[in-house]
A and B are shown apart, each in its own frame.
Chain A
Amino acid sequence: MAHKDLREFIAALDKAEHLVKVKQEVDWNMEVGAIIRRACELEERATLFEKVKDAPGVSILGGPCASYARMALAMGMDAGTPKKEMVKEFDKRIANPIKPMLVSSGPCKENIIKGKDIDLFKFGVPMVHDGDGGRYIGTWHLIATPDLDSKWVNWGMYRQMVHNETMMGGLLLPIQHIGQIFQKYEKAGKPMPFATVIGSEPLCAMASVLSPAAGVNEVDLAGGLRKEPVDLVKCETIDLEVPAHAEIVIEGHVLPGVRVDEGPFGEYSGYSSAPRSPRPVYEVSCITHRHNPILPVSNMGVPVDDSDIVCTTAFRNVATAALAGLPVVNVDVPAYGSVHMVVVSVRRAYSGIAHHVASAIWGTKLGALVPFVVVVDEDVDVFNLGEVVHAIVMKCHPVRGVHPQPNCPGHALWPFLNFHERHWGQASHLLLDCTWPVDWDPNIEIPAKISFGTSYPKDLQEKVLKNWGKYGF
């Protein structure tokens, strides 16, 4: 059963003992950020800050989905659901999209602010990390933008920094749908409408990090994830619809031909690698919000945080779909790889299968942004990072197994690129082929794997398992 709003999700976190409620006042200026970051690094619970300095009535939810347990709770599943099971349920739901439903009003309309009363600072927006280019209001949210020449409405999670009371800045990368849509508006000299939806129930935010084909509305995928339609209401000043249950909705336009310095920002990669640069500007025309709004904040950095959990699950979904028809056994995008590594296990079917797999992944829009593809044989459990590392160091030949792919797309957030490459999004990819070559004779050339499951007769294994407790273990 889907949560009707963020507050119901918070109640579920609390009930499952996956929430810490902080009653004492905390400072939006890095204290909130520091607490969320440390909680992520300790794999602690989500944090609800009930009293934020300078922001009476506002609460902050830190790290809403920074663990697989929280993601399972968001999906209405048991917190203890194994990852393998949960991601497969995720795939199943995505495959069954449900159209949204338009409703006349909703909680997000409890307060409507326009004109001179607009003030982005009143929401306790955090300075997340020292050195950030500003206070980031958009860290766990979705931005809806309509295509210029079709009925497509793109949802995506793109960072948003507050410049002043009414203006925000952000990255609109040309490889992302928002960047491609904005290019159309800019070419036509038109402002692009946007609606930033903050504090939707968590599955809407999760759907926004998926990257379906251009023309597919993520709101339908959110419906699939929820197993029921998303209720939408019309915006006040632009022709867009947004989730009725959202905590805060910011409406406005992205201005054509205008760039203002934005960033830097501590990003999903665990580094602040994109320097302050001229980037597009969001001009706010209206803010609607619930009474006592709750601002979700994701503090991205070294793993594991919300991005590592949710974006890897979304990338896994895309990679799995891209590999349909290939002799693939399993796919994982490990959280510790921060969306930069896909691991695929394959049946030993034909020569060049690792390249086939990597090409299929890199050929997708989202897969192009995953620089490392690791292909392993089917005996390796892709969900077990220890087994994957062992396969890399024992089966990947340091020359013959390593296949760099130059001249690929990338972006400014990749720490290993030099300054020029970051500026122009010029990157390279790498395939690590950890499969035994098809032309190696299994009896002569392929080494025997030494493990409990492979090195002992079945009847002996059964005997050991049966007597395991009796041995004193």
Chain B
Amino acid sequence: MAREYDTYTDDVSTIKEGVEITIAIRETDIYRTRVVKAIVSSNRKALPDGDTLWVRYNLGPLRPEPWSIKILADVPGLLIKKAVGDQ
């Protein structure tokens, strides 16, 4: 059964489609964060065997059309970033 995930970005062009990427996603059944190697596509037909990936804006609103995600492997831990301002 297809599973559902979501991720956050204000700029979808930062998510590279059709190639292997490392991305932080949430399992939307329990809202657990996972970091995975995956292939994603905004065109669900281009990745027919993929799971559903919802994309949210950074302030929370959901984009209406879900993407597709094919998870290749889990990456241990969280997706570490640099501090900028700490606000």
Interface 1/0 per residue, A112-139 and B, CB below 8 Å: 0000000001000001001111110000
Chain A interface residue count, CB cutoff 8 Å, equals 40
Cβ contacts under 8 Å, B34 to chain A: 164
Considering only CB atoms and an 8 Å cut-off, how many residues of chain B contact the other chain? 26
Say yes or no: A174 contacts B31, CB within 8 Å. no
Q: Counting CB contacts under 8 A, is A275 at the interface? A: yes
What mask results when residues 41 to 67 of chain B are scored 1 for a CB within 8 Å of chain A, else 0?
000000000000000111111100000
Verify B60–A132 contact, CB threshold 8 A.
yes
- Identify the stretch in A320-328, A380-388, A418-426, A460-468 within 8 Å (CB) of chain B at 4 or more residues: A418-426
Chain A residue, CB-CB nearest to B83: A259
Asked if A261 is an interface residue, CB under 8 A from chain B, the answer is yes
Binding site secondary structure of chain B: loop
Tell me, yes or no, whether A281 is within 8 Å of chain B by CB: yes
Q: Is the CB of A127 within 8 A of B31?
A: yes
- With a cutoff of 8 Å between Cβ atoms, the chain B residues found around residue A422 in the complex are 87
Whether B58 pairs with A424 at a CB distance below 8 angstroms is no
Bound CA span A259–B60, Å: 19
Q: How far is the CB of B3 from chain A (nearest CB, A)?
A: 16
A388-425 vs B: 1/0 string, CB under 8 Å? 00000000000000000000000110000000001111
A81 neighbours in B (Cβ, 8 Å): none
Which chain B residues border A38 with CB–CB below 8 Å?
none
Q: Give every chain B residue within 8 A of A259 (Cβ-Cβ).
A: 80-83
Which residues on the B side are within 8 Å of A172 (C-beta)? 86
Interchain nearest-CB distance for A123 vs B (Å): 12
Indicate if B1 sits at the interface (CB-CB under 8 A): no
Given the complex of chains A and B, what is the CA–CA distance between A259 and B85 in angstroms? 11
Residues on A with C-beta less than 8 A from B58 are: 264, 275-277
A-side contacts of B22, CB under 8 Å: none
Contact of A412 among B31, B56, B62, B87 (CB under 8 A): B87
Query: Is B83 a contact of A278 with CB atoms below 8 Å?
Result: yes
User: Which of A130, A131, A411, A423 gathers the greatest number of chain B CB atoms within 10 Å?
Assistant: A131
Contact among B31, B79, B84 with A260 in the assembled complex (CB-CB below 8 Å): B79
Chain B interface residues (CB < 8 Å from chain A): 8, 10, 24, 26, 30-34, 56-62, 78-87
Closest 3 CB pairs of A and B: A131-B60, A275-B58, A278-B81
